[in-house]
Structure 1
Amino acid sequence: MDDRVRQTAESIIGTLRHAGHTAYLAGGCVRDMLLGQPPKDYDVVTDARPNDIRGLFRRTELVGAKFGVVIVRLHGVMTEVATFRADGTYSDGRHPDEVVFGGEIEDAHRRDFTVNAIFYDPADHRVIDHVGGRADLDARLIRTVGGPDRRFAEDHLRLLRAVRFAARLGFDIHADTVAAIARHADRLPTISAERIREELKLILTHPTRADGWGWLTSTGLANHLVAGLNWPAPERARIAARLASIEGGIGFAPALAVVLRDRSPADAQSVCRSLRCTNDEVRSVAWLLRSLPRVHDPRSLELADLKMLMADDDFDDLAELLRGDLLADGAGLGPWDALMARARAIPRDAVAPAPFITGEDVLARGVPAGPDIGRILDAVYRSQLNESVRDRSAAMVLMDERIRSK
């Protein structure tokens, strides 16, 4: 994180304090600072009301009038500044029906987990902890602020957030919190598919994805990600092993392909659409699942088949999924080594060369427009990729043969 972002947040706090207000850093940035990790952003909380905040800074945007949230634009940085508040009832299981501006203690007690409810005063270098968050950080524990059943009944997305924080931070989840997650797991479908998708993406694309999957399955949340989607114990175990075998961060599509590895491409596409995945993600997941069985025996692939696989943007992910499959199954990496050796031996400009012939060439031979043209072009191009046709002249000869035999 750019030091300028933190300095900007601290400058905002300084301005608020100079005007007679209380102001702190809050939330995830404080948690990460105390853990010695670089924060992704810096949020400010204050007793100043939204109109007071807007009066102190020239460039502001009121993004959550109901919740007292103002974006302050300063030094080219956008910083979220929120007024201390207490939340009212949550009738939709996601957002409070009303909020009441209050003090820092009320604000700390409305938050989701203790480790996210710590404040920091940069002027006095002072940690302000009203909920025991510092002790839970030291114990590496995710625990709700207050009773877990109430916290999860208020906002069902917190069910997935608990899993994400535990996995990403390498923390345990307090037993009472785990039990409450299991009790409330069936509330997950009340959240929009888009929000579920975004939380699932954050869980599965992180290097700790196997831990995240473990929490999703042990709490019962996995069975409520998509309606009608259940995971038998053997499949859950295979998924966990495959996720653990993939190193580093990966994209969401390959991560979903790992989770849906034992499902058909059509079923996987249906799951992806239920999660409101993008069209590119849906295509990638289906392509990876169709292609993965083929690369388990890379020596059986014709040169053209290998080149067409390599020409796809998802080929590197395909190779990584193959490696993960082999490691998870306890098999040797022979097929992966063979695939990569064959791929490295192919010059980049030979992977998807321009075709020697086009549809115009076929039409010029009197073939009427229609599917026959595509079939002829595909056959000739396949021979070109197999390097049995090496120039345009040979391609034209093969084209004529195909026209005569159609």
Structure 2
Amino acid sequence: MKQTEPYKVALDIVRKLRNAGYQALWAGGCVRDLLLGKKPQDYDVATNALPDEVRNLFGKRQTLAVGASFGVIIVRGPHSDCDVEVATFRSEGPYLDGRRPEHVTFTTAEEDAHRRDFTINGMFYDPLTESVYDYVGGQSDLNQQIIRAIGNPLKRMQEDKLRLLRAIRFASTLQFRLDQVTFEAIQTMANEICVVSPERISGELRKMLLHPNRSYAIELVQSSELLKSIIPELAPLWEDSEKQPLWDQTLLRLKGLTLINFELSFATLLLDLPHEDSTHQLDIIHDICKRLRFSNHETSLIYWLIQHRNSLESAPSFKLSRLKRLLAHKNCPYLIELVKADLTSQKQPLDDLEFCCQYRDHTPTEVLNPPPLITGNDLIEFGIKSGPEFKELLTKIQDAQLDEIIHTKEEAFALLSRLHRD
């Protein structure tokens, strides 16, 4: 595997710790990825050096004591993507808040491995000798493609309840199967996911929905009972036998997406959300996005996509102004992807959609979305004051331009005169 700069920085950190007489190994996810033949996103180092010893060795200016009380020091690389977390081997006390241990005790590599979440994340690697240290059966589970909690699954999940979702994310993104005992523990504790902050929950959902295996991920989140706890509004889709086909379509839609976009994926998930009417549905969607702490931008795009799910129906019969406005919209590529996945999941014809794609792809930008012939400043110079009529006039003139009724500024002013006089 090609040695990237982060790889070299992490290797140098291990070498420097070893030369100073300490034990030092790569730990966690980077070991898993290396054994899978993948490029690690980042590197973590585990050592028997205490936090103060790490800071003294690398210097205060090159280190950040972000979690010294838990044995964690950041050793800074030449760039931010080369920063490496160096953690002292530790065992952990009780997790009173379901996220962090009350205290830690510095210990050995073997004990450190047993406090980690899943076996495939509990291995160590010596990059100097290329040796794997596996105290939890991680290599076996990696070879068998199993996600298994280390030790007692219920205890592991109680320590940090976000692990309920992390187990599913690892299973889906790696295309592994969940160990049955681990899966049953997730089902048992599913309603406790709500004690985790919305930001952490939505962070895991975001990672799942941005991955090509998003449909498998959501299927696991649903079958584990977690989705009912996170988005209870969706539960009737699989609990009501009459609505079950809509849930099956939801999974097919997610599977059919080819564009990688979180808002698109989330809109696809909520597309058949049970509702009394379209206004009620959009209100529920807004509440869900707010509850999960989505940004205003994310919420607006999700809202817009669902609101416009049927906007391309009968497109060949649209006036040019309506068609062009829609196809020139910045979010149109996501809408086309959503509609395609939706129609395909229902085995519906794609004729209207194909017409839209053909028109958009073969129409020059200056025709599809031309600069307006006149602007608000022109209206002011014409003597028209701001008010309800102002925007209405601009829209009518731009409609005439998009409908290719007028083509020049002179024709636009002539139309303005007629409209204003009337």
- TM-score band by shorter chain is over 0.9
1:197 is the counterpart of 2:197? no
Q: Is the aligned partner of 1:286 residue 2:297?
A: no
**Alignment partners' CA distance in 2, 1:8 and 1:282:** 39
2:416 and 2:324 mapped to 1: Cα distance? 21
1:180 is matched with 185
In the alignment, which residue of structure 1 is the partner of 2:278?
none
Query: In structure 1, what is the equivalent of residue 48 of structure 2?
Result: 47
In structure 2, give the amino acid aligned to 1:53: V
Between the aligned partners of 1:385 and 1:318, the Cα distance in structure 2 is 21
**Paired position in structure 2 for 1:64:** 67
Q: Take 1:332 and 1:230, find their aligned partners in 2: how far apart are those partners?
A: 29
Which of 108, 123, 127 is matched with 1:122 structurally?
127
Quick one: distance in 2 between partners of 1:386 and 1:283? 29
**C-alpha separation in 2, matches of 1:229 and 1:242:** 15
Alignment gaps of 5+ in structure 1? none
Q: 2:330 aligns with which of 313, 335, 343?
A: 313
Partner of residue 375 from structure 1, selected from 392, 402, 414: 392
Alpha-carbon deviations, 1:17-57, whole Å to 9, x = none? 11111111111111111111111111111111111111111
Equivalent of 2:219, from 214, 223, 240? 214
Aligned to 2:26: 25
| Cα separation, 1, equivalents of 2:323 and 2:126 | 59
Q: Please, which of 349, 366, 369 is the counterpart of residue 352 of structure 1? A: 369
Q: Does 1:153 align with 2:158?
A: yes
**1:10/1:154 Cα in 2 relative to 1: closer, same or farther (>3 Å)?**
same
Cα 1:352–1:87 change in 2 (3 A) is same
Describe the SS at the equivalent of 2:311: helix
Kindly provide the amino acid, as one letter, of the partner of residue 154 in structure 2: D
- Residue 2 (structure 1) shift: 5.9
- TM-superposition CA deviations, 1:225-261 (whole Å, max 9, x none): 14655342223222101001112x5111101110111
- The SS at the match of 1:293 is coil
Q: Which residue of 1 is the match for residue 267 of structure 2?
A: 257
**Secondary structure of the equivalent of 1:38?**
coil
Cα pair 1:294 1:301 within 8 Å, conserved: no
Amino acid at match of 1:121: D
With over 3 angstroms needed to count, the CA separation of the structure-2 counterparts of 1:364 and 1:123, relative to structure 1, is closer
Output the CA distance in 2 between the equivalents of 1:191 and 1:22: 35
CA distance 1:130–1:193, change in 2 (3 Å): same
Q: 1:245 aligns with which of 231, 256, 260?
A: 256
Structure 2 SS opposite 1:74 = coil
Q: Distance in 1 between matches of 2:110 and 2:63?
A: 26
Stretch deviating more after TM superposition (264-273 or 62-71): 264-273
Rounded to whole Å, the distance in 1 between the matches of 2:136 and 2:47 is 18
Separation of aligned partners in 2, 1:227 and 1:326? 26
In the other structure, the counterpart of 1:303 is 320
Please state how far the C-alpha of 1:13 moved relative to its aligned partner. Answer: 0.5
Aligned with 2:146 (options 141, 147, 160)? 141
Q: TM-score, normalised by structure 1?
A: 0.95
Q: Shift of the alpha carbon at 1:358?
A: 2.1
Cα deviation, 1:297-337, whole Å, max 9, x if unaligned, reads 32233322232223322211111112211221123433332
For 1:359, give the aligned amino acid: G
Corresponding residue of 2:277? none
In the alignment, the residues of structure 2 paired with residue 365 and residue 261 of structure 1 have an alpha-carbon distance, to the nearest angstrom, of 46
Residues 341 and 2 from structure 1, CA distance in 2 versus in 1: closer, same or farther, beyond 3 angstroms?
farther
Q: 1:85 aligns with which of 85, 90, 103?
A: 90
List aligned pairs for 1:323-338, cutoff 5 A: 323-338=340-355
Once the two structures are superposed, the pairs formed by residues 92-103 of structure 1 within 5 Å of their partners are 92-103=97-108
The counterpart of 1:341, out of the listed 335, 347, 358, is: 358
1:243 is matched by which residue type in structure 2? L
SS at match of 1:127: strand
Measured in 2, the distance between the counterparts of 1:230 and 1:145 equals 31
Contact conserved, 2:234 with 2:270, CA < 8 A, in 1? Answer: no
Whole-angstrom CA distance in 1 between matches of 2:149 and 2:135: 13
Contact 2:327 2:356 in 1 (8 A): no
Whether the 8 Å CA contact 2:7–2:43 is kept in 1: the answer is: yes
Single out whichever of 195-204 and 322-331 deviates more from structure 2.
322-331
293-302 or 82-91, which deviates more = 293-302
Query: Root-mean-square deviation (CA), in Å?
Result: 1.7
Q: TM-score, normalised by structure 2?
A: 0.92
- 2: CA distance between counterparts of 1:38 and 1:231? 41
Secondary structure of residue in 2 paired with 1:292: coil
In the alignment, is residue 13 of structure 1 matched against residue 24 of structure 2? no
Partner secondary structure for residue 232 of structure 1: helix
Query: Separation in 1 of the partners of 2:71 and 2:324?
Result: 56
Q: Which stretch shows the higher mean deviation, 141-150 or 60-69?
A: 60-69
Mark the CA change 1:266 to 1:380 in structure 2 (over 3 Å): closer, same or farther: farther
Matches of 2:32 and 2:173, distance apart in 1: 13
**1:381-400 mapped onto 2 (5 Å cutoff):** 381-400=398-417
Which amino acid in structure 2 is aligned with residue 151 of structure 1? Answer: R
Q: Distance in 2 between matches of 1:303 and 1:199?
A: 42
Distance 1:35 1:25 in 2: 15
How many Å apart are 1:266 and its aligned residue? 3.1
